């Protein structure tokens, strides 16, 4: 293989790994926010919405106590995510800020702020997993 071809192959592999890392870190963060969300009916968990390039709007009429359907939806929404894209996680329920501020005894430290503090840990785990590939 010629040197130029080797460089091109390396660049392509690197770009793929960057995209994969970006997607895995985003989904790790989103999953953590979703699972940190307190559960009564499951409506707050179900209203986490993911979109690339624009902030999701509207309120969903779903309930998801386990969080698995919401995480699956986030995964599907982020399937085409590439490094450098802007991705949003939004919850438009009128009471979500109260939950973030610790209103629920189930999440006295909130969800989003707590997850942001775990970013380094999530990114390190993804990095470790990708080195193994």
Structure confidence by residue, pLDDT tens digits, 77-106: 999 999 999 999 999 999 999 999 999 999
pLDDT above 70 for 55: yes
For residue 55, give the nearest of 96, 100, 77, 87 by alpha carbon: 87
Check whether 107 has a pLDDT greater than 90: yes
Say what angle helices 119-132 and 3-36 make with each other, to 10 degrees: 140
Q: Give 99 or 10, the one with higher predicted confidence.
A: 99
Contacts of 7 (CB under 8 A, 6+ apart): none
Model pTM score: 0.91
């Amino acid at each position: 293989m010629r040197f130029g071809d080797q460089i091109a192959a390396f660049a392509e592999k690197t770009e793929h790994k960057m995209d994969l890392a970006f997607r895995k870190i985003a989904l790790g963060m989103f999953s953590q926010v979703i699972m940190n969300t307190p559960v009564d009916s499951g409506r707050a968990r179900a209203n986490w919405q993911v979109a690339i390039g624009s902030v999701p709007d509207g309120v969903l009429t779903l309930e998801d106590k386990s969080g698995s359907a919401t995480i699956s939806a986030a995964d599907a929404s982020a399937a085409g995510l590439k490094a450098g894209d802007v991705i949003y996680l939004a919850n438009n329920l009128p009471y979500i800020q109260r939950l973030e501020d610790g209103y629920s005894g189930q999440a006295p430290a909130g969800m989003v702020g707590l997850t942001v503090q775990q970013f380094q840990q999530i990114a390190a785990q993804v990095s470790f997993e990708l080195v193994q590939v």
